[in-house]
Structure 1
Amino acid sequence: MPGKVRPDDLTAHAFDRTGADDDRVRQGPALGEDAAAIDVPAGTLVVSSDPISLAANQAGTLGVAVACNDVAAAGADPAWLTVVCLLPPDAPDAFETVTADLDAAARDHGVAIVGGHSEYVDALDRPILSLTAMGVTERFVPTGGAEPGDRVVIAGPAGLEGTAILAGDFADELAAPTEALDAALTFVDEISVAPAAQILRRDATAMHDPTEGGVAAGLVELAAAAGVGLEIDREAIPIRPETETLCRAADVDPLRIFGSGALLATVPPDAADGRLDELRSAGIESASIGVVTDTGEEIVEIGSERIDEVPEDDLYPLWAGPAERD
């Protein structure tokens, strides 16, 4: 099954294998942390890398947004990108299409593409991108900073990226209205969380950009990184009608599909209402969806459901095909 390396394997084989010790590294590899943080003379350099390996539709647009989101969620303004672009040799137009998407998306996000690598690979049947985003901040916000009593805030609706993928990659398989599919394709233009992060980072104790596994996985990662529990009101989480429609057609959970476009944050209770007012004034769908608990268990309760490990993304079986889904 494709997807992220499981947390227990990362703990066993990656987190203690980080090369030379360097006191300038404020945040290195750790469960739930999507970005590294390195102290530099101008402040803290935030660095994050992400692949785009399965979504074929607008891979460059998705890749820039996803990479920049992790930097923004750590409190920095994304400024620079490097891109590794691997291409199938029998798709001669793919490079032109991908680089045009990358350029347009980078301009929209105000980031410069400063380097990378491109090559054709015989084993591929679709482009694979790996992007590294960088930015500088004076206040690094980790995933693992949540404190008991903080309110859990979401900025942006759940499943936005996953809805766009359903419409772009699986439209022919879904018995869904054309209007919903057409609207969902435009969601790829809304998955930047940088505007929300600029508002929340002033007070947030933690911020996290849910990607694979959706909002449900993002909440589990946030709780695990901080060693806390979360009590979440599922009904308070914003979900667009098109997401509900396409997820119902695909028989997937809106909280368990790729979640770029939503930003999770924990905010001290005396600051939460003010930040929510700012988000709404900026036209960003947002809500207070729960509270950080100190129960001694890293458990996320979403309504009546209790989750203690990162769920797999519901879209992966769709890529696997009907035989593997059965």
Structure 2
Amino acid sequence: MRTGRVTQTIWNRSVKKQIQKVNRNSTGKTAWEENSSELISDEKDFVWSSTSVSGKAPAQVKYAVIEAAGDLAAKRVRPTAVSVQILFPESSDEQELKDIMRILTEICEETGLAITCVQAESAEYVLRTVIQITAVGVKENSKQQMKKWVSGTEIILCGYMGLEGTLRLVEEAEADLRTRFTPSFIEKTKRCKESLILPEQILKLPEEAKSRQCGDGGVLCGLWELAEAEKIGFEIDFSKLALKQETVEICEFFQLNPYLLTSAGSYLVLTEHGEETLESLKNAGVPAVRIGFVKEQNARTLVNGEETRYLDRPAPDELSRWWKERKESEEQEDRRGDNYVKHCTL
């Protein structure tokens, strides 16, 4: 299979057909484009969302919490707690666990989340640390129905594309970036984390609006998932997709596409009352801009000046591609080093 998340086609063929056999209870929607699950009971509707990240920097746990909790907030579910599972390479030490727990505690205090369970272990098959976060909450309005969005419904972008991925690249490859960029640029980029949208902010949306977090695969994957989930077509003004200049420059340095770069902490919003929604977001401290509208047809089009094209099926996330290429490069360096040692021995 390709690097990163499995494709929608594979998921439908190998996952969906199997779980349909056992999901006889009253449960929420289960689909490739859904990042959260719902279990409906007579008393409460529990909703949870899981996400996983991998890397060498302890700060990755922060972005996993923001994504898992943000997926709940996008469904108007207030996240209340998280559980954590950490898999370390065998070469890791206790200090790495302490660093992860420090950052986890900080973000959970900031977002008002309890930490209900933490499991950590090391294994020989783990190449770099993997952190899985599961966030849980209770749906307050269990009678929400899927809405039929009419032509002309506005689509709003909240936050900045590829910002999460940019921050994670700085955490993972600061030494590489310092070969091109000044220390002040690096520090300014790190401060961009303040522009990530937190769950509490997205919960301030008006009741009629519907939101969806952009995560793995960036804004282009987010738009595809939005269309799949809401059964809509749309027209998007590509030039309106907001990017930080830091994202543009770092993606250029690593030759990455920022529109395919993981973007937790940014959201797409559907609304029939654009001005009211923009005002609510402004009051919540959320940068937002209109980027397009729903169309009667199912076509999903991107307009950039005089050029119009159709939205492609989601491609692998650029951060996953970066890790793959980095691993291959490190392996090549190791082989060259081994060959040099053999040559010197001879």
What's the TM-score once normalised by structure 2's chain length? 0.84
- Counterparts of 2:56 and 2:138, CA distance in 1: 29
- Change in Cα spacing, 1:322 to 1:50, as seen in structure 2 (3 Å) is closer
For residue 4 of structure 1, give the secondary structure of its aligned residue in structure 2: coil
1:104 Cα shift?
1.6
Identify which range, 275-284 or 33-42, moves more after superposition: 33-42
Identify which range, 105-114 or 46-55, moves more after superposition: 46-55
AA partner of residue 279 (structure 1) = L
Unmatched tracts of structure 2, length 5 or more: 330-346
1:210 to 207, 211, 214: 214
Unmatched tracts of structure 1, length 5 or more: none
- Counterparts of 1:228 and 1:157, CA distance in 2: 23
- 1:88 corresponds in structure 2 to 89
- Counterparts of 1:157 and 1:323, CA distance in 2: 28
Query: What pairs up with 1:177-196 in 2 under 5 angstroms?
Result: 177-196=182-201
1:64 Cα shift?
1.4
Identify which range, 79-88 or 32-41, moves more after superposition: 32-41
- Counterparts of 1:74 and 1:141, CA distance in 2: 12
Structure showing greater radius of gyration is 2
- 1:200 corresponds in structure 2 to 205
- 2:291 corresponds in structure 1 to 289
- 2:336 corresponds in structure 1 to none
- 2:230 corresponds in structure 1 to 226
Equivalent residues of 2:53, 2:131 under 8 A apart: yes
- 1:279 corresponds in structure 2 to 281
Instruction: Give the share of equivalent positions with the same residue, in percent.
Output: 22
AA partner of residue 161 (structure 1) = E
For residue 66 of structure 1, give the secondary structure of its aligned residue in structure 2: helix
RMSD: 2.6
Equivalent residues of 2:206, 2:280 under 8 A apart: no
2:168 to 160, 165, 168: 165
1:255 to 259, 278, 281: 259
- Counterparts of 2:90 and 2:148, CA distance in 1: 46
Identify which range, 247-256 or 148-157, moves more after superposition: 247-256
- 1:30 corresponds in structure 2 to 31
What's the TM-score once normalised by structure 1's chain length? 0.89
- Counterparts of 2:326 and 2:34, CA distance in 1: 34
AA partner of residue 200 (structure 1) = L
Equivalent residues of 2:88, 2:128 under 8 A apart: yes
Equivalent residues of 1:83, 1:131 under 8 A apart: yes
- 2:112 corresponds in structure 1 to 110
Give a deviation string over 1:172-226, Cα, whole Å, max 9, x none: 334234333222223345434313321225112x321111111111001111222
1:134 Cα shift?
0.7
Equivalent residues of 2:238, 2:302 under 8 A apart: no
Equivalent residues of 2:111, 2:200 under 8 A apart: no
Equivalent residues of 1:87, 1:127 under 8 A apart: yes
1:237 to 222, 230, 241: 241
1:82 Cα shift?
1.2
1:8 Cα shift?
0.6
Equivalent residues of 1:75, 1:141 under 8 A apart: no
Number of matched pairs: 321
For residue 53 of structure 1, give the secondary structure of its aligned residue in structure 2: strand
Query: What pairs up with 1:64-143 in 2 under 5 angstroms?
Result: 64-92=65-93, 93-139=95-141
For residue 86 of structure 1, give the secondary structure of its aligned residue in structure 2: strand
AA partner of residue 119 (structure 2) = H
- Change in Cα spacing, 1:302 to 1:128, as seen in structure 2 (3 Å) is farther
For residue 203 of structure 2, give the secondary structure of its aligned residue in structure 1: helix
For residue 52 of structure 2, give the secondary structure of its aligned residue in structure 1: strand
Give a deviation string over 1:20-67, Cα, whole Å, max 9, x none: 334431x23203111112224555322111111236350221221121
Q: Work out whether 1:310 is the aligned partner of 2:314.
A: yes
- Counterparts of 2:188 and 2:291, CA distance in 1: 26
Give a deviation string over 1:244-286, Cα, whole Å, max 9, x none: 2222222222221111121111112xx2211101211232110
1:156 to 131, 154, 159: 159
